Structure 1
Amino acid sequence: MTFTLTIDEPRWDASVRTAAEQFPTVVPVIKGNGYGFGRERLARMSTRLGVDTVAVGTEAEIASVREGFDGTIVVLAPLTQEELNRLHPTTGRVIRTVAQADVVHRLAEPNSPDLEVILELDSPVHRHGVQLAELAELAAPLSSVRLAGIAMHLPSTGDRAHAVKSVHTALYELRRARVEFDTLWVSHLNARELRELGEAEPRLTVRPRVGTGLWLADRSTFTVTGTVLDARPVPHREAVGYRQRRLHGGTLVVVTGGTAHGVGLQGSSARGGLKDVLKGALMGAAHGVGWTPSPFRWAGKRLHYADVVHMQVSMLIVPAGVNPPAVGERLNCDVRMTISTFDEVVVSPALPGQEFAPGATFPAAS
């Protein structure tokens, strides 16, 4: 019995293509767990889209993406001095990201590795990037580097006017420092913002890097399910699970899908005020003892955990008076795709020319 991702391939394919049409010169992002679909599958889909460039998160992800994509690969993680000394040869064109002034100076030296790079600038996200005040001193060394453009990683929400303004400010400072470039690589600008940027900068090639908005554009085109392994009635005040929590009666259901699959894991959040801290503490405590609703659904409602989430299964409680699922039935599961892994992926029906048949199942890829 398995924790399964089922993809309606023609509909998912169509949703990805529709999303890609909103972003001319799109650079699909293929990183981590491949947004739940697997990096190899997204690489093959990128080939079918006909794009010339994709982006990966780290150097280690290049090999798996290269299995399904022959074009240019951009590595989003910035190079460090240490990594410059131990880069392994790669197949095809690979562009690295540089986000520190000392790395730029190193690459400009005569005996430095011959790499093609993108210079990442600081943005309102402040994750990493060269400061605008450093551009004047970097103009000369950058002229000796194979520069494939400038990059900015912007906020995905919040004050959009401020985010867009930060791009125009950066472009102004780049020109004032006399840094020569013709391509801007950006993350988290929507279609309208990209169009307006293109109109304001007609001589600049803008390459939007898109992940979530591309692969997860229409979540109705795929489903995640766990298989019921056991279902048994439990009397009122019966103790169950590792924590021996006493239930109010109902049906105890064991379903595939646990922490190893990404079920029951909580995403981090930024520190807020006292109210947010107290709320987070209460939610964390409730989650730790299994009191929060699970992501599994039955009869149109979310079921509650009967115990803390196990590694490969979850124990749920179906309230008394509700007809429970039978062993072998599947429960829909609302998961965060970027942290989820699956025992199998079911593709039905397959598209013409693919290597798997309609309804085929196969292990989930990395």
Structure 2
Amino acid sequence: MALTLYVDTDRWRAHQRLVLADFPGLIPVCKGNGYGFGHDRLSEEVSLLGLDTLAVGTTYEAEEMKDRFSGDILVLTPYRRTEEPVPLPDRVIRSASSVDGVYGLVGSRVVVEVMSSMRRHGVSPSDLGKLQAALDDVRLEGFAIHLPLDRTDGTDAVEEVIGWMDRLRAARLPLDTMFVSHLTSEQLLRLRQQFPQTTFRARIGTRLWLGDHGATEYRGAVLDVTPVGKGDRFGYRQQKAPGDGWLAVVAGGTSHGVGLEAPKALHGMTSRAKGMARASLATVNRNLSPFVWDGKQRWFAEPPHMQVSILFVPAEAKGPKVGDEFRAILRHTTTQVDRLVDR
């Protein structure tokens, strides 16, 4: 009995090919938990696509991936002199976001990140004059810019990239390759038309692996079902059942990422009102689970356990049985499944 990620493999791979057609030369991102699929599986998919490079988040991920993937591996986290050294082969490309970082990577293959409107990390315009000398001692693979997902101020992502291209050209820095993130295929085409001598390579993760929501589905198997009447006590804290129905013990708990949620950016009054409503219900121990049964998202009977969740299914719903599976609405990047099944 397991929390399972089911994959419609043909549909999933067809979507990958569509993305590759829109973004020729793309670099797939395989970081974190492998977008719910795991590093083993994603490295296989990258090889099947015939791509020569993939990107990972950290040097530790690069160390794991080097034995799974034979091509180049781009580490997205910028180098810092104080980091723990990790033995990596020459086909690993490091990112640098400062002049000092470039100086610390003597002899290495390097991508230099520039500071975008994300304001996360990157070389600033004022540092470009100092960069030329630092680049003499590394093998420069190109420059990179990581753009925001939303542009609420109405600015143009393409214009932001063009601004940096102009700065780099004015500083007499090479513009052979530019690595970009969070651009549409139309925006990328505009850049390629304006800078035909530059190779633009899009780093893509979410859109590639998770862009077709219908290609994947999480399901938690029912391990036990216990009938309860209104007021019956149950669980670790001996709470009372809110009505007649069943307690369903379903595979999927905190060790899988169930019940764990990343903070969300709320936009507009409707989303804020929903957030306040959820918070209010939580104060009286009413927490909606990610599990769906008989067409409705069901409530946690109590906080999820490490490997299972106990859900309350009211008497008016279809009665669950051991071996049934509850569909689960889970975030791929925070979920660890027991198994992945192709179908």
TM-score in terms of structure 2 length: 0.92
Q: How does 1:179-194 map to 2 (within 5 A)?
A: 179-194=173-188
Q: How does 1:52-201 map to 2 (within 5 A)?
A: 52-83=52-83, 86-91=84-89, 93-107=91-105, 113-159=106-152, 161-201=155-195
Q: What amino acid is aligned across from residue 114 of structure 2 in structure 1?
A: L
Q: What amino acid is aligned across from residue 325 of structure 2 in structure 1?
A: R
Q: What amino acid is aligned across from residue 185 of structure 1 in structure 2?
A: F
Q: What amino acid is aligned across from residue 301 of structure 1 in structure 2?
A: K
1:351 corresponds to which residue?
none
1:326 corresponds to which residue?
321
Distance 1:226 1:268 in 2: 24
Q: Secondary structure at the match of 2:200?
A: strand
Q: How does 1:298-317 map to 2 (within 5 A)?
A: 298-317=293-312
**Any stretches of 5+ residues in structure 1 without a counterpart?**
108-112, 349-366
Q: Which of 243, 266, 289 is equivalent to 1:294? A: 289
Distance 1:326 1:130 in 2: 58
- After alignment, is 49-58 or 2-11 more displaced? 2-11
Pairwise CA distance, 1:272: 8.8
2:20 corresponds to which residue?
20
- After alignment, is 56-65 or 25-34 more displaced? 56-65
Distance 1:59 1:259 in 2: 27
2:219 paired with 1:225: yes
Pairwise CA distance, 1:286: 3.8
CA contact (8 A) 2:142 2:178 kept: yes
Pairwise CA distance, 1:340: 0.5
Q: Secondary structure at the match of 1:35?
A: coil
Distance 2:102 2:302 in 1: 52
1:262 corresponds to which residue?
257
- After alignment, is 321-330 or 98-107 more displaced? 98-107
Going from structure 1 to structure 2, the CA distance change for 1:152 and 1:75 (only over 3 Å counts) comes to same
Pairwise CA distance, 1:205: 0.4
**Any stretches of 5+ residues in structure 2 without a counterpart?**
none
Q: Secondary structure at the match of 2:35?
A: helix
- After alignment, is 36-45 or 219-228 more displaced? 219-228
CA contact (8 A) 1:36 1:337 kept: yes
Going from structure 1 to structure 2, the CA distance change for 1:45 and 1:137 (only over 3 Å counts) comes to same
Q: What amino acid is aligned across from residue 138 of structure 2 in structure 1?
A: V
CA contact (8 A) 2:298 2:311 kept: yes
Pairwise CA distance, 1:341: 0.4
Pairwise CA distance, 1:88: 3.4
Pairwise CA distance, 1:305: 1.1
CA contact (8 A) 1:70 1:92 kept: no
Distance 2:13 2:272 in 1: 42
1:358 corresponds to which residue?
none
Distance 1:332 1:200 in 2: 47
Going from structure 1 to structure 2, the CA distance change for 1:301 and 1:283 (only over 3 Å counts) comes to closer
Q: How does 1:23-34 map to 2 (within 5 A)?
A: 23-34=23-34
Going from structure 1 to structure 2, the CA distance change for 1:315 and 1:289 (only over 3 Å counts) comes to farther
Pairwise CA distance, 1:60: 0.6
Q: What amino acid is aligned across from residue 322 of structure 1 in structure 2?
A: A
Q: Secondary structure at the match of 1:167?
A: helix
- After alignment, is 11-20 or 211-220 more displaced? 11-20
Deviations 1:277-302 (CA, angstroms, capped at 9, x unpaired): 89756634644765232111111111
Distance 1:125 1:31 in 2: 19
CA contact (8 A) 2:107 2:137 kept: no
Q: What amino acid is aligned across from residue 97 of structure 2 in structure 1?
A: A
CA contact (8 A) 2:98 2:123 kept: yes
- After alignment, is 73-82 or 97-106 more displaced? 97-106
Q: What amino acid is aligned across from residue 291 of structure 2 in structure 1?
A: F
Distance 1:278 1:320 in 2: 30
Distance 2:125 2:217 in 1: 44
Q: What amino acid is aligned across from residue 339 of structure 1 in structure 2?
A: T
2:202 paired with 1:208: yes
Going from structure 1 to structure 2, the CA distance change for 1:36 and 1:275 (only over 3 Å counts) comes to closer
Q: Secondary structure at the match of 1:82?
A: coil
Distance 1:9 1:275 in 2: 36
Pairwise CA distance, 1:328: 1.1
Going from structure 1 to structure 2, the CA distance change for 1:285 and 1:63 (only over 3 Å counts) comes to farther
